[in-house]
Amino acid sequence: MHTPRHFRADSPDREGRLVRENPFGLIICGDAGAAPIATHVPMLRRPGPDGRAPADGEPLPGTAIVGHLAKVNPQSAALRTAGSALAVFLGPDGYVSPTWYDGDRPNVPTWNYAAVHVSGPVRVVDDPDEALAIILASVDATEAYAGTGWDPTPSLGYVDRLLAGIVAFELTAADVRSTFKLSQNKPVDTQSRVQATLAASTHGRDREVAALMADVLDLGAAG
């Protein structure tokens, strides 16, 4: 991923937080000389031996990204032979119209967004206990903010049966690249207008983009 210097992450914390808050990403790998193959899957940073997830501020390089997919998915076989893979996490994004800029200057439409790409060696997790731990960690991470505290214990027998049709994987983060494109290359007055317009929008994730702009650009509270 190409990242102009204006759009680089200002701290490891920002990259870690994006991965944690946007777990539904893309796992991409080669497929025996064919076109790359990709699957939309939930992924997370692997918890430590104590079961706790890495802190957002812990740099991503050297840590592990884990996830799982269906065994019938052709990518489950491709992951065994690919050697390396790329995990893509997309944060909030939104269209920016040139009508929001200063009308005295020529401008064109653009898109503000945040994304993190993590690539490195990948392995398929064959040990059923390790695979189950990855699946349960994924459940814990998402239930923490999106669910109502579902307890998987009564369903573990059912989960064990499902494991036969699931492939877990682990990607070691050898290279991490991110882009936080949030109008940093525009004058402050233009940044403020873009942020305010997005904050007032009800479309897609515009308000999340506005909140991120307010934080990164220190523009004050989003609308």
Three-state helix/strand/coil letters over the chain: CCCCHHHCCCCHHHHHHHHHHCCEEEEEEEECCEEEEEEEEEEEECCCCCCCCCCCCCCCCCCEEEEEEECCCHHHHHHHHHCEEEEEEEEEEEEECHHHCCCCCCCCCEEEEEEEEEEEEEEEECCHHHHHHHHHHHHHHHHHHHCCCCCCHHHHHHHHHHHHHEEEEEEECCEEEEEEECCCCCCHHHHHHHHHHHHCCCCCCHHHHHHHHHHHCCCCCCC
For the chain, list residues with pLDDT below 50: 222-223
Residue 104 has what pLDDT? 66
Return the domain boundaries, the chain.
Answer: 5-184
Residue 47 has what pLDDT? 86
Query: What is the homologous superfamily of the domain 5-184 according to CATH?
Result: Electron Transport, Fmn-binding Protein; Chain A (2.30.110.10)
52-64 pLDDT tens trace: 888 888 999 999 9
